[in-house]
Chain A
Amino acid sequence: MSTLIAVLFDGFSYGMLLFLLSVGLSVTLGLMNFTNLAHGAFAMLGGYVTYALVESAGWPFLATLPLAFLATALIAAVFEAVLFRRIYKSGELNQVLLTIGVVFASYAVAAFFFGTVHHSVDLPDYLKGFVEIGDLKLPAYRIFLVIVALAVTAGLILFLEFTRFGAMVRAAVDNDKVAGGLGLNINAIFALTFALGSGLAGLGGALAIDILFIDPNFGFHILVPVLIVVSIGGLGSIWGSFLAAAALGIFDVAGKFLFPDFGPFLIYLFMVVILFFRPNGFFARR
């Protein structure tokens, strides 16, 4: 019984990591209709911000997390204003080509500054090792990860559904011409949305270091699982991404536990089955 709970918890917490990494893409892809394959590169940026602050400046791990979010959001906003804004209307192929180019460039930049080897960060003692509940041993860091992911989910849903800015974003997405005519500054709204989505990726990247480690390939590494989560969850749906990530994590971990020989294939099977019956994912916004 305790093994079953431990496996489910491992799966769920892995899913929560995927959720943090992909929810930002769900927002930009779903709300802005912008195919941003560079999402993983922004996640990597957040990871390196945390790594640099912890290892070079001696900051405590927790204090670096808001900065990983802010720094990534800021740099993403610059990219949006300089590069991405120009291709919102120019078709998916152009978007894919430009953003994948950004991932390649990010590899070279990261390798230049941080080397090709992988890095990890020193966690505070209370996030190391495991917490014992009866005869159940749960990794302390993963408990922390789950708490952060739940907080982010709640915050995002409240923000987009119940605030004035959230309403402006939804209005701008549904019909940008009318929204613009009503006096909304569409460019600023899109830039902020993009920065928010990328900032969340940066936070996800910082939180991923302890489980996936950080190296210049990070942007490519997480692209596939992140795209699976977004497509299963349904574009633009935070709740959908949450469910998809949780299901994917549990399915992946439980599958590898029960059938180790087929484990790696199971998540693809899972994706095929889901998309076969719900081609737009769990909760598609459009």
Chain B
Amino acid sequence: MKKTVTALLTAAATLLCGAAFAQETVKIGVINAYSGQFADPGAQLDAGITLYMQQHGDTVAGKKIEIIRKDVGGIAPDVAKRLAEELIVRDKVDILAGALLTPNALAMGDVSAEAEKFMVVMNATTPVIITKSPYMIRTSATASQINGNFGTWIANQGVKQVYTMVTDYGPGIGSGTAFEEAFKAAGGEIVGQDRTPVVNPDFSPFVQRVAEADPEALYVWVPGGTQPPALAKALAERGITPENTKIYGQGELTDDAALEALGETALGIITAYHYNVHRDDAMNDEFVEAYRAANDGRDPDIYSIGAYDGMAAIYKALEATGGDASGEALINAAKGMTWDSPRGPIGIDAETGDVVQTIWIREVQMVDGKPANVIIDQVENAK
């Protein structure tokens, strides 16, 4: 009899401990591109997650944070959906995160809504993604946030006419439309619109059209990589420089690699972006230094900062709920939250769950003999 009681007690204790132990872990399922064409931005995103956990430990509100990484391999919404379902059903994750690419983010959003799981979009910038799940927040930026505010800013500088040239696919058209609408609403006029092919090594015909139209200002949107320097070079070679035509674009246009390729021809180009690696700020300096130390000297970029702040949002929301990782509790805690990030002040919109932040307006100027993006203005609390 006594033996039986002891055995029962032991069993009960074990079960209790087991249950309590399970409660101690919060699992985050990260769906990201670890291979294929987008492996490079995927690696930068992952490094942001890793660095945040390195700096802030893996325990929040008494819970241990466990990351489960899944490789989606590229633009593959069906794979992203399957991975999200597997993560929730089999791995029992509490939170979905990552979402490097828009189509994958949309697919993950459906799963998040259905399973009522908190989801953090760490990169994809298409505005509509956020409406896919009531349990979703975003910590990167939206195409309209950057370019819409930029359009208003440019109109406020007294610029009346702009010629726009954007890449002919979702992100380019979305950014261009947001820019045009904001610019027109602020009293500006669009004097020409061109769409360049996604795969287009030679910009000369499009630049020649701009040269012919001779507009007051030119707004361009091209994806990062080889296109920004190619476009800026094509402009400079045909005599379109900020001296005679103002040139505006999103931050990728003058990222470090592009500036290196462009040299002095980039001087005077004005861009809008939500993160500046070289912004002089104690928190940012510390972040950049730690990031370089952890990644063979490589600089963080928008992917890294999106993931870094995504983890910050998860940690802060968990602290607020005291460790309750249900979708309902986390989204209520996350909405309306604000904090300081290496990129500047950041917050989550209380209504939409989308990111609210400062958009930096930068001009390429000579700094210590090298062209650099110098902040000349900022749009605070940009939505």
Task: Give the interface of A toward B (CB within 8 A).
Answer: 3, 6-7, 10-11, 14, 116-118, 120, 122, 128-130, 137, 139-142, 210-213, 215, 221, 252-257, 260-261, 263-264
Contacts and interface: CB of A to CB of B under 8 A. Distances in A.
A213 B208 contact: no
Contacts of A6: 208, 211, 238
A221 B196 CA distance: 17
B369 interface: no
A26 B263 CA distance: 37
Contact of B201 (A140, A142, A212, A263): A212
Interface string B178-218: 00000000000000001111001110111011011000000
Query: Main secondary structure on chain A at its contact with chain B?
Result: helix
B340 to A, nearest CB: 31
Given A3-B211, A137-B239, A257-B208, A211 B229 contact: no
Nearest to B204: A10
A263 B238 contact: no
B209 A211 contact: no
B257 interface: yes
Given A120-B261, A130-B237, A263-B197, A256 B205 contact: yes
Q: How large is the interface on B (under 10, 10 to 19, 20 to 34, 35 or more residues)?
A: 20 to 34
Kindly list the 6 A-B residue pairs having the minimum CB-CB distance in the complex, ordered from nearest.
A256-B205, A139-B237, A257-B205, A10-B204, A120-B261, A264-B197
B113 interface: no
B345 interface: no
Q: Is the interface of B mostly helix, strand, loop or mixed?
A: helix
A189 B201 CA distance: 36
B257 to A, nearest CB: 6
B39 interface: yes
A261 B195 contact: yes
A3 B212 contact: yes
Contacts of A260: 194-196, 205-206, 209
Contacts of B233: 210
B226 interface: yes
Nearest to A222: B201
B382 interface: no
A195 to B, nearest CB: 27
A17 to B, nearest CB: 9
Most chain A beta carbons < 10 A, residue from B206, B208, B230, B236:
B208
A212 B204 CA distance: 12
A266 to B, nearest CB: 11
A212 B241 CA distance: 21
A122 to B, nearest CB: 8
B225 interface: yes
A196 to B, nearest CB: 26
Contacts of A130: 237-239
Contacts of A264: 197, 200
Contacts of B197: 263-264
A116 B205 contact: no
A129 B263 CA distance: 12
A47 B208 CA distance: 27
B376 to A, nearest CB: 26
Nearest to B261: A120
B40 interface: yes
Nearest to A132: B239
B195 A221 contact: no
Given A118-B225, A120-B261, A130-B237, A221 B209 contact: no
| Residue from B39, B201, B260 with most neighbouring chain A CB atoms (10 Å) | B201
Contacts of B212: 3
Given A116-B40, A211-B230, A213-B226, A252 B257 contact: no
Contacts of B230: 211-213
A7 B204 CA distance: 8
Contact of A215 (B206, B226, B263): B226
B205 A254 contact: yes
Contacts of B226: 118, 212-213, 215
